[in-house]
């Protein structure tokens, strides 16, 4: 009996037994191969989002340059033709023609109404007699300029931007309806120039002050983000970099040259969560999506990211306190026999994003999954959108510095020498309302990412 | 031509080991390992790579043993041939590569002991089974334990 069992034990090495052993082994491996190839739920990448692309500058451009021909602008021409005002105006046309391979430029002057400037008449805009047309010089109706502007063109407006409250509202509304709601941007180039003349329409009673000294004028540009940027860069190279006090702000829904993705990102922290790549169908790559796995035994999980970004140089400067995150979570489920996404109502308690850091070159944050036990097994699609918060003042300091403090009006009236002509009425209000309008109409995004999560 | 069958069998064992690692241990580790520094699938590629290196080294050692014992060692009686130390020495390369693999495999937070175990298995099994089952007749009892495995073969 003992001998038989020993023989059985030892006899595994005779040749027929070995063959059987190998056959068994091969069947075992084949079985495991079939098991390991069993179908797991996959989900395709999300559709592309138009806000993710910043359009290139136009190949050819049609530009309309509007000169404010009201009397309040005349003071910029009296100190002579060597002023910053004159130098900038002399380079406007050149900035268009040298900034694009093909261009058409038309000139207009405006005030109470708009008149086209024929031939080389626009060259007179740096002389006092340009501001003597009685049909124009009464009121600066910039809203009429917006009415006549064409959305396919780059619209450039030279003005002192001296607007009362009603003017601001009317102008912003016109810009919203015609340009901002359609994704266009507005650039504000501010230049301090020599001035000697009368400043009109100060305050609610439209007071006037004689003023001599530095006073800002503005070149507003309305059009596509890249066209405005190119116009500014060309103008800067031609003249602005030789002037002492100039600034530029580009109000647009774009903040970085490309929407940050996980492609050049780093994981800064990973706790009880794994990166995987099997939720996408085979061979599919989309850097907007991070594929993750959480195991049932882990109560909570965290993953931190540091993504690279290249902030647009003249765009609104953002900071972590001025941005907000929207998270939505959907589970891949079967509806009428087809896989589809079912919204999870409890995303807010399951997911949090914190630890936001934002610089010109990077963006950091941490995604936390709380109470994993409340997450049933399956595949989830999580969408994260980061936007600028509304009603947060992100204006650059020069906007505040150049904004006129109208509460000082009584003291200016008491002593006109105190009049602060270096400032612009309602500059900050105009810029801020434009920014708010962009937030409302264009819903700008700083980040638009997805997480595909497999809970096992 | 018995040596052709033996060498083929040694290679077959190593091949089965590779398949076993690619199709059995790797998918198993996908479920077990957590906290890898990279994507799990990429990490598993590293694991598969090292397990193939280990099996390959083990195969080379086993074939070297076979070649030495078939064509180079002289023998009158196996127990007095003193070749077991050579057999023991040839297990060193797979073990050395195992140690290198353990050091160079990026550590995951969970499941690493199992990974190290599979590395040892990948390094030892092809050499041990290959030599214990298919050493030339003159040296068939040199591998430890082969007296039990090859008593009637």
Is the predicted pLDDT of residue A21 greater than 70, yes or no? no
Q: What is the pLDDT of residue B117?
A: 96
Among the residue ranges A128-137, A262-271, A348-357, B103-112, the one predicted with the least confidence is A128-137
Residue in B closest to A266 by C-alpha: B38
Whole-number CA gyration radius for chain A:
32
Is the predicted pLDDT of residue A260 greater than 80, yes or no? yes
**Rounded percentage of chain B residues whose pLDDT exceeds 70:** 93
**Rounded percentage of chain A residues whose pLDDT exceeds 90:** 68
Q: What is the mean pLDDT of residues A389-402?
A: 92
Distance from the A322 Cα atom to the nearest Cα atom in chain B, whole angstroms: 33
CB A226 within 8 A of CB A54: yes
Q: Could you please report the per-residue DSSP string of A192-228?
A: EEEEEEEEEEETTTTEEEEEEEEEEEEEEEEE-HHHH
Whole-number CA gyration radius for chain B:
17
Q: What is the pLDDT of residue A16?
A: 59
- Residues B17/B19/B24/B30 CA torsion (nearest 10 deg): 110
A-B contacts at Cβ under 8 angstroms: 58
DSSP at A446: S
List chain B residues with CB under 8 Å of A270.
Answer: 35, 37
Q: What is the pLDDT of residue A19?
A: 64
A→B contacts (Cβ < 8 Å), by residue, are 10-15, 18, 22, 25-26, 28-29, 32-33, 35-36, 270, 272, 274-278, 291, 293, 295, 298, 456
A36 or A165: which leads in pLDDT: A165
Look over chain A and give the mean of its residue pLDDT values, rounded to a whole number: 89
Q: What is the pLDDT of residue A14?
A: 54
Domains annotated for chain A, with CATH where assigned, are 60-255+394-425 (no CATH), 261-308+318-390+446-455 (2.60.40)
User: What does pTM read for this prediction?
Assistant: 0.82
Q: What is the mean pLDDT of residues A49-66?
A: 86
Is the predicted pLDDT of residue A6 greater than 70, yes or no? no
| Tens digits of residue pLDDT in B27-70 | 999 999 999 999 999 999 999 999 999 999 999 999 999 999 98
Considering CB atoms only, which of B36, B38, B133 is closest to A13? B133
Q: What is the mean pLDDT of residues A434-440?
A: 95
Residue in B closest to A33 by C-alpha: B23
CB B18 within 8 A of CB B52: yes
| Tens digits of residue pLDDT in A135-188 | 776 777 888 899 999 999 999 999 999 998 889 999 999 999 999 999 999 999
Q: What is the pLDDT of residue A4?
A: 45
Q: What is the pLDDT of residue A12?
A: 43
Interface test with A, best of B12, B30, B131 (most A CBs within 10 A): B30
Residues 3-42 of B with CB under 8 A from A: 12, 16, 19-20, 23-24, 27, 31, 34-42
**φ, ψ for residue A319 (rounded to 5)?**
-140, 160
**φ, ψ for residue B135 (rounded to 5)?**
-65, 155
Given an 8 Å threshold on Cβ–Cβ distance, is A32 in contact with B149? no
- Is the alpha carbon torsion for B95, B101, B104, B109 positive or negative? negative
What pLDDT band is residue A29 in, cutting at 50, 70 and 90? low
List chain A residues with CB under 8 Å of B27.
Answer: 32, 35-36
Q: In what order do the strands lie in the sheet with A447-455?
A: A274-275, A289-294, A447-455, A378-388, A323-335, A338-343
Token reading at A324: 């907000």
Contacts 24+ apart (CB under 8 A), A260-265: A260/A307, A260/A308, A260/A309, A260/A363, A260/A447, A260/A449, A261/A287, A261/A288, A261/A307, A261/A449, A262/A287, A262/A288, A262/A289, A262/A290, A262/A305, A262/A307, A262/A449, A263/A287, A264/A307, A264/A308, A265/A305, A265/A306, A265/A307, A265/A308
Contacts of A140 (CB under 8 A, 6+ apart): A68, A70, A72, A110, A111, A159, A160, A162, A163, A167, A201
List chain B residues with CB under 8 Å of A456.
Answer: 31
Q: What is the pLDDT of residue A42?
A: 87
Q: What is the pLDDT of residue A205?
A: 87
Among the residue ranges A10-24, A73-87, A259-273, A385-399, the one predicted with the least confidence is A10-24
List chain B residues with CB under 8 Å of A32.
Answer: 23-24, 27
Is the predicted pLDDT of residue A412 greater than 60, yes or no? yes
Interface test with B, best of A14, A274, A301 (most B CBs within 10 A): A274
What pLDDT band is residue A337 in, cutting at 50, 70 and 90? confident
Distance from the B51 Cα atom to the nearest Cα atom in chain A, whole angstroms: 16
DSSP at B2: H
Is the predicted pLDDT of residue A20 greater than 90, yes or no? no
β-strand pairing of A102-110 with A60-68: parallel
């Amino acid at each position: 009996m003992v001998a038989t069992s020993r023989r059985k034990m030892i006899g595994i090495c005779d040749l027929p037994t070995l063959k059987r052993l190998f056959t068994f082994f091969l069947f075992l491996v084949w079985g495991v191969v079939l098991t390991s190839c069993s179908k797991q739920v996959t989900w395709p990448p999300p559709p592309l989002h138009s806000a993710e692309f910043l359009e290139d500058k136009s190949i050819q451009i049609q530009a309309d340059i509007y000169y404010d021909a009201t009397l309040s602008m005349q003071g910029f021409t009296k100190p002579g033709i060597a002023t910053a005002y004159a130098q900038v105006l002399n380079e406007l046309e050149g900035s268009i023609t040298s900034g694009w391979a093909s261009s058409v430029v038309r000139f207009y002057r405006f005030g109470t109404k708009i008149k086209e400037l024929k031939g080389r008449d626009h060259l007179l805009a740096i002389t006092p007699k340009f501001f003597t047309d009685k049909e124009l010089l009464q009121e600066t109706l910039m809203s009429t300029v917006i009415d006549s502007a064409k959305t396919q063109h780059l619209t450039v407006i030279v003005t002192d931007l001296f607007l009362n409250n009603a003017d601001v509202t009317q102008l912003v509304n016109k810009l919203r309806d015609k340009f901002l709601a359609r994704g266009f941007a507005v650039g504000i180039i501010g230049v301090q120039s020599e001035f000697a003349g009368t400043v009109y329409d100060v305050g609610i009673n439209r007071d006037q002050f004689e003023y001599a000294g530095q006073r800002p004028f503005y070149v507003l540009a309305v059009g596509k983000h890249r066209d405005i940027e190119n116009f500014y860069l060309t103008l800067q190279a031609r003249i602005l970099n030789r002037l002492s006090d100039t600034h530029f702000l580009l109000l647009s829904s774009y903040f970085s040259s490309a929407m940050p993705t996980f492609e050049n990102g780093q994981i800064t922290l990973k706790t009880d969560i794994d990166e995987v790549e099997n939720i996408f169908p085979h061979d599919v790559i989309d850097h907007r999506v991070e594929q993750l796995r959480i195991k049932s035994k882990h109560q909570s999980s965290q993953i931190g990211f540091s993504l690279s970004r290249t902030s647009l140089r003249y765009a609104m400067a953002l900071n972590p306190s001025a941005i907000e995150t929207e998270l939505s979570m959907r589970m891949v489920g079967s509806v009428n026999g087809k896989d589809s996404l079912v919204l999870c109502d409890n995303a807010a308690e399951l997911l949090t994003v914190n630890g936001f850091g934002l610089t010109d070159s990077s963006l950091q944050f941490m995604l936390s999954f709380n109470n994993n036990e409340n997450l049933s097994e399956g595949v989830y699609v999580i969408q994260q959108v980061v936007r600028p918060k509304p009603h947060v003042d992100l204006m650059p300091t020069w906007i505040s510095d150049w904004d006129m403090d109208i509460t000082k009006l009584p003291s200016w009236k008491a002593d006109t020498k105190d009049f602060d002509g270096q400032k612009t009425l309602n500059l900050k209000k105009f810029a801020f309302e434009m920014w708010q309008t962009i937030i409302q109409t264009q819903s700008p995004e700083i980040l638009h990412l997805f997480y595909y999560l497999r809970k096992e | 031509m018995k040596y052709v069958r033996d060498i083929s069998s040694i290679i077959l064992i190593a091949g089965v080991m590779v398949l076993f690692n690619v199709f059995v241990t790797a998918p198993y580790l996908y479920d077990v390992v957590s906290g890898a520094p990279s994507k799990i699938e990429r990490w598993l590629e590293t694991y598969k790579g090292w397990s193939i290196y280990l099996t390959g080294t083990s195969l080379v050692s086993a074939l070297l043993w076979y070649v030495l014992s078939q064509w180079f060692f002289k023998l009158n009686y196996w127990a007095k041939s003193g070749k077991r130390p050579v057999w023991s020495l040839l297990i060193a390369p797979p073990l050395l590569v195992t140690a290198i693999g353990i050091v160079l495999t990026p550590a995951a937070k969970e499941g690493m002991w199992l990974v190290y175990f599979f590395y040892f298995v990948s390094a030892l099994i092809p050499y041990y089974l290959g030599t214990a089952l298919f050493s030339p007749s003159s040296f068939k009892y040199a591998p430890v334990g082969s007296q039990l495995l090859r008593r009637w073969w």
